[in-house]
Structure formats: structure tokens, C-alpha cells
Amino acid sequence: MSMLRVEDLGVSISTISPLSGVSFDLERGEIIGIVGESGSGKSLTAMSVMGLLPLIGGQVDHGKIEFDGIELTGISENEYRKLRGGRIGLITQNPMTSLDPLKKIGPQVDDVSRLHLDHDKSQAKARTIELLGDLRIPEPASIYHLYPHQMSGGMKQRIVIAMALAADPDLLIADEPTTALDVTVQAQIIRLLGDLVKQRNLSLVLITHDMSVVAQTCDKVMVMYAGTAIERGRVQDIFKSPRHPYTKALIGCIPHGLSKTVRLKGIEGTVPGVAQYPAGCRFHPRCGLAEDICKETVPAFDTAGSRAAACHFALGTAQ
């Protein structure tokens, strides 16, 4: 059974539908990378799985989210609360603003094990200090009593990770966990996440806009564009033979080595906003291969199977 299976997920916020047609699945111990530019719907996918859409006034419109055999789209808020923090941990983008600045960091981590593992105050504290040590935080017992503003960004992100891990979850969702950090710290955090997945046999959804991070750490990848999934597959397959022109262009954007003669490629144009999603394939205005059919018909995206590409002219397949 898959740890997480998302099938044809669609989200609506009042009258707009910023997310549709997202399908992927994730086994225990696997890492899936969800990549795309800003506004492509990566974070909305994460919020949907966490059941936090009501916070931004949204709701799951259609499709399924199955976590370890439990269908999440229908369950009550109380049941969802037990999963959140308990079996699904979230790591957010900006560690600078992710901790309550008025509270010491230790008790903020304690909350999780007290809530989900029924730990009392001293048990929770002992667990937090042990966990901070596991995450390679020096002197965890004294760090426990610090306030968030007394720590560096990288340290705070480790605290956020500790919070996500405190109740021994099965699934972690990391929403651009390194975007707000220094380059040197980025590598440390990504390596830490990779190690945690191996040590604890976790499943990880890693949301990023960095294709090179995906190449280094992920088993699977799903590429998103303008609020929909456009390609999915195993990392080695996608990087060797991308089928969607957008995926191909994204891979072309990864800088290689120090060669001075090669100018980095970009992708012409910008991602359209929710109100300006074009009819047909949403990528067609920026696509070199676009024909009339692309302007009219939305290309299908398989909900099952390990490999899918939403393109009428998927590359490398027999037409």
C-alpha cells in the first residue's frame, strides 16, 4: 500500500480553481520532489494533504488524497488534527517566521509529543532534547531555553524539523525547506532530510523549485506548471528523457560546472496567474511545439502508473 496517494486532486478557493489534475503516489522510504515555478501550485498541494486549506479559505474540489489507506478528503477536523503533527509532519519555507517569537523554542517542540504521544512535561522535554541532539544541534539542553530570535536561520529550520519529527510521523512534507537559507546551510538541511528518511524509514514530499536538489535527493519527481501537474516519473527516467517540453526546458536551466562559454538557458515568458490560465494546454503560449490542438484540448495526465506526461506531443513516445 502506498504511504500517500493523490489522485486527480483539484482545489477551489471561492470561485477560482487554482489547482487541478494533480496525481502522484509515494511509497514508504521514498522521496518525491514536486518542482515548479512560483505560483505553480506546489504549496497548495502541500496544504491540501495537510488539510489546512480552510486557513486560506480553500477546499478540496475533487479527487482523492489517500494516506496509509485512509481517505483524507472526507474525515472530520478532529481526526485530521490527530494526523497533523502526529503522523504527518510539515516543514515550512521560512524558518525566520515559522516559530512563535514570544515562546521558548523547547516548549514549542514539546507541544507535539505532549499532544500526540501523551507525554507529560518532563517526558516531552527529555524527548525534545534528545531529538535536538539527533539533529546535530550543539548543546541541546541549553538551546532548549532560547527564544527564536536568538538563533540563526539554519538552527531555526532544524527546530522546525524537530517539531515535525517529534511524534514519529510516517510522512514529512517539506515546503521549500531551504529557500530562505544561505547556500551552505541549504546543503546541510537537504542532506539532513535525506539521512532522516533513511534512518527513520520515512516518506518525504520535498517541494522545491530547484531541479538540481531533485536530481540529488529524490526517487520520484512531479513537475507542476500553472496549477496542474504536467509530468511525473522516476528521477533517473525524467532526467534522461523528459517527455514534456516544459520539463525539458527546466532541466536545461540547471547550471553545469564552470564552463564560461555556455550561456544559461531560461524559459521565455512567465507563469500565468490563476485568472489568466489559457484554454487547452496551459503551457502552450510558451511552448515551441504548440499546435492548434494545444490551444483547444487539455492534454490528459494519467492518474495511475509510474510515468505520465500531460502533452499532446510527449517527447520520445511513439505518436
Residues 124-183 that bind another protein (CB under 8 A): 147, 149-150, 160, 163-164
C-alpha cell at 285: 503560449
Q: Which stretch binds another protein (CB under 8 A): 92-100, 201-209, 212-220, 247-255?
A: 92-100
| Residue for grid cell 550543539 | 138
72 binds another protein (CB under 8 A): no
Among positions 3, 6, 60, 83, the unique one binding another protein when judged by CB under 8 A = 83
Among 3, 35, 112, 197, binds another protein (CB under 8 A): 112
Closest CA to 18 of 50, 58, 73: 58
Binding span for another protein by CB under 8 A among 4-12, 47-55, 182-190, 269-277: 47-55
Q: How far is the CB of 230 from another protein (least distance, A)?
A: 27
Nearer to another protein, 98 or 228 (CB): 98
**Measured from the CB of residue 169, what is the shortest distance to another protein in angstroms?**
10
Cell of 190: 537537504
Q: Cα dist. 275→29, 270, 301, 316 in Å? A: 38, 14, 22, 33
Nearest to residue 225, comparing CAs of 41, 21, 18, 16? 41
Output the smallest distance, CB 265 to another protein, in A.
Answer: 33
Among 100, 120, 291, 302, binds another protein (CB under 8 A): 100
Cβ 8 vs Cβ 23: under 8 Å: yes
Indicate which single residue of 21, 63, 89, 299 sits in contact with another protein (rule: CB under 8 A).
89
Q: Using the rule CB under 8 A, which residue among 64, 81, 209, 248 binds another protein?
A: 81
Binding of residue 116 to another protein (CB under 8 A): yes
Q: 11 vs 311, which CB is nearer to another protein? A: 11
Please state, in angstroms and as integers, the Cα–Cα distance from residue 64 to each residue in 93, 297, 300, following that order.
25, 24, 17
Task: List the one residue out of 18, 19, 17, 21 whose CA is nearest residue 6.
Answer: 21
Taking each helix axis from N to C end, the angle separating 183-200 and 153-165, rounded to the nearest 10 degrees, works out to: 20
- Contacting residue, 1, 15, 102, 118, with another protein by CB under 8 A: 102
> 188-215 burial string, b = 16+ CB within 10 Å, else e?
bbbebbbebbeeeebbbbbbbbbbebbb
DSSP letters, 145-162, are T--GGGS-HHHHHHHHHH
| Residue written as grid cell 504548440 | 290
Interaction pattern, residues 7-46, with another protein; x per rule: CB under 8 A: ----------------------------------------
Residues that bind another protein (CB under 8 A): 50, 52, 55, 81-86, 89-90, 92-94, 97-103, 111-112, 115-116, 147, 149-150, 160, 163-164
